[in-house]
Amino acid sequence: MPPAKLDGQAPPAAPKPHYYPERAVTLLAPFARGSLEDRAARALAASAEKGMGFPLVVVNREGDPGSAWAELKRARPDGYTLGILTTPEFPVFLLEQRESPPMRLSDLSIIGGHLQGQRAILVRASSPYRTIGELIAAAAAQPESISLGFGPASLSHRLAAAGFQHGSKARLRLTPFSDGSGVLMWTVNGDVEAALGRLKELGPAVRSGQGRLLAILDEARSPDYPTVPTLREAGMELVSYSGLAYAAPAGTAREIVDYLSWAFYGGATDPNFRREMAEVGPSFRYLDSRALSQYLVSESERVKPLLPLK
């Protein structure tokens, strides 16, 4: 029976090669054990390996993610060493790298992966700004007067904040925090005018009546907050996702890549994996090899003008 359809595009069904796998498969992870990304990768590996019949062993490579991606590029293309590309970090790495020769997307075979939302912008309950348009107008009228906090100070949050500033054409005072609770506390206390963060992190302030959501940085409204518009509805083409893309070295047999794409997609339909991802946020989309490759290219184009602002 084929896996149940997810929010994104399903890959074509692919048969298991008779010669693969015959032993455990290593999955290089360029992030710390126990991180949000690590939880998602381990949950998917545990689900996907059920159908593969051999373990998918997540091996963390903390520190510079470029080192893990270079290791993946050098690995034998036999399907036994795979890697995880984080977005938007990997597209930024391709744009900013100083490798010689430079690494390219064509050095890897994309298997598939998942994107996760939703980010939102929140103000304190007593804020004079009741719509995202009012916040943007105030920032445009008085440059640097409106502070936009974001945390944790990750690249994806920084790029989302920079993207908001770039798209609104208003000069905000971007204020990074080391964690999400810090920016939320400063916002509800009035020390920061607005906060940008994951909807899951901002939700408690909304439910307690201390905060008010102005906009969702996604393609669709949140089912939990159906009255809150998206930035697109406000006339700004800004959608912010984080994601994990699974890849093999270039030269890996096409039948292995196709099989892995089908196996990973099957893992993504597992109820245990979906429950784990629900802890992160309600917006989840799985993309097959082709769709995810196209997304990585488009993401590079999207973040290129934001790099001087981040």
pLDDT in tens, the chain (310 residues): 333 334 556 787 888 999 999 999 999 999 999 888 898 899 999 999 988 889 999 999 988 898 999 999 999 999 999 999 999 999 999 998 877 788 899 999 999 998 887 889 999 999 999 999 999 999 999 988 999 999 876 788 888 999 998 888 888 999 988 877 888 999 999 999 999 998 888 989 999 999 999 999 988 888 889 999 999 898 888 888 888 999 999 999 999 999 999 999 989 888 888 887 876 655 678 888 888 899 899 889 888 888 876 6
- Asked if residue 149 and residue 198 are part of one domain, the reply reads yes
Assign residue 69 the CATH number of its domain: 3.40.190.150
Query: Is 195 within the bounds of a domain?
Result: yes
Tokens 């945390």 belong to 151
Query: Is 207 within the bounds of a domain?
Result: yes
- Asked if residue 279 and residue 208 are part of one domain, the reply reads no
Domain ranges, residue 163: 119-216
- Asked if residue 29 and residue 109 are part of one domain, the reply reads yes
- Asked if residue 179 and residue 32 are part of one domain, the reply reads no
- Asked if residue 110 and residue 134 are part of one domain, the reply reads no
- Asked if residue 137 and residue 105 are part of one domain, the reply reads no
H or E element in which residue 192 lies = none
Query: Is 229 within the bounds of a domain?
Result: no
Determine the Cα–Cα distance for residues 279 and 203; give it in Å rounded to an integer. 12
Domain count, the chain: 2
Assign residue 147 the CATH number of its domain: 3.40.190.10
Residues listed for the chain: 310
- Asked if residue 212 and residue 123 are part of one domain, the reply reads yes
- Asked if residue 249 and residue 203 are part of one domain, the reply reads no
Determine the Cα–Cα distance for residues 253 and 117; give it in Å rounded to an integer. 32
- Asked if residue 134 and residue 275 are part of one domain, the reply reads no
